[in-house]
A and B are shown apart, each in its own frame.
Chain A
Amino acid sequence: MKLLRAILLRLATMSVTLIGAAVVVFFVIRIVPGNPIAMMLPPGASEDDIARLTAHYGLDKSIFEQFVIWLGGVFQGDFGTSISLRQPVMPLVLGRLPATMELAIFALVIAVVIGGAMALTGVRYRATRTETAIDVANGVGLSIPDFLWALILIVLFGVLMPVFHISGRISPSLDLPFVTQFYVFESIARLRFDLWWDLLKHMFMPALALAIPLAAIISQLLKQSLKETMHLDYVTLSRTKGYGENHVIVSEALPNAVLPTLTLIGVQFTFLIGGTVIIERLFSYEGLGNMAIDAVINRDLPLIQGIVIVFALLFTVINLIVDMTYALLNPRLRHA
């Protein structure tokens, strides 16, 4: 009963967030100068042509009328038609979303593995040169933004030592048997590890560029929480029980120290998804972010709206997952 109420409340706040996002994106992109119709017609088009095309896309109506028409469509699952690509928005967006999600999840996995390993190593060898080295690495990771890491990686592993692909999602010469857009998952499901490997070689650098700053944040915060936890009485008590230091860190300190980091990962993961917009562009990766930049350049209003709504939905779902994980790991929150 309590759980049901919590879920309903959660769904209600999520819908409010999404409607808010819809309102903001709709009106803000209309404040920005630029006319999609002007982008579509050749120079020297007649007044008549302009008027006809404007009416065709409903842009002659008042902005509030346009909003009501658009929102009415959204509730029926119709996000309108892309002006530049001349196709319905939703299939376009959903076709690109899996590519971005795979990239973001891969980046998150890299960040958690690297950041977690660095934090644990730093605590195991605290107050030694190893910890200092990790602190320095954290500082470097944090002070260079993801798009700059992307350029550094392209130079290192794309040009000087060309071990990874620097452009695209998969080699264009390959025959693709995929029926979904989740190429990485599907290649594993089909046991096509040749394709999987090719995908990985394309994804690795953009994912690493996105992961490095997040790994540094995770490493820094988790190490700090762990160090504080290592002084607590229950950790000391477990030492007197005969456990070695590795066990004490992983089994006693980590489950409690990880909670603040988990919240942080949730927040930072949404930033990471925001970062995919630039990173996908740099690596010509065919994801939603790359499509978003094209849409903005073309003033493709319906497409921008569709992409932003999908991003907003993604963010609220991620926050929900984080909160659920938090409750699962922290027994004190379970009954609340």
Chain B
Amino acid sequence: MIGKVASRLVIFMLFLFLALPLIVLIATSFTEAGYLSFPPEGFTFKWYLEVLRDTSYLDSFAFSFYLALLATAISIVIGVPTAQILARHDFFGKRLIEMFLSSSLLLPQIVFGVALLQFFSYFVAKPQSFWVLTLGHIVLTLPYIIRTCLASFIGLGKSLEEAGQDLGANRIKTFVFITLPLIKPSVIAGGLFAFAISWINVEVTIFLSASNQMALPVKMFNYVQYNVDPMIAAVSALTIYLAFILIVIIDYFVELENIAAN
């Protein structure tokens, strides 16, 4: 009994620990004061209106969204087959490739950003372009797709894929009808991580962005270097709402499928 209460309490504290910064941030974004204050003084939407009136912020939202979406989509297209190959085949140097593909998780991202800038400087005249930036983000997001899908492929085993082939489906049809539906939850989970990693990235983005491309985290970073007011809290809060809506939507679809499968 006491153990049960205690464990509930620990779980509650854990949630509080995770959620409190977000709650503080969201609360602050409604303050009437001209500085960051908690608890908020009064209640106003004026910081949100200010963000929405400033088209450069909306542009940054759109730009970051587009960038994260593109990096995630390309990562999925590359990462899922790569994970399948890594899970299904044994070949010389496999472990090395696996570690290499995860290396961007271990390197300090700021180092990584400089390294990428130098690297691309050798090959393209203008390294700070959208495609270079996307490529940089793919390097960051790919490991998340590969790692979640790799585990999923290994857990799935190969007999279901063999059954698909046995029943007359070639490799592509087997992948579409058997493999993909079964690993979809992992692709979605990995995709969410990948999207978030790209969405929040400052270090790599700041080095590879052209002056007319302002990803949201870079814009926020630039802004808080000179002034800190509740508008930045409103921007942050908006990204939280966005993430929340995204998760609810995806959860809804995944949940529906789980219900169907059981």
- State yes or no: do A and B come from one complex: no
- Report B's interface with A, CB cutoff 8 A: none
- Report A's interface with B, CB cutoff 8 A: none
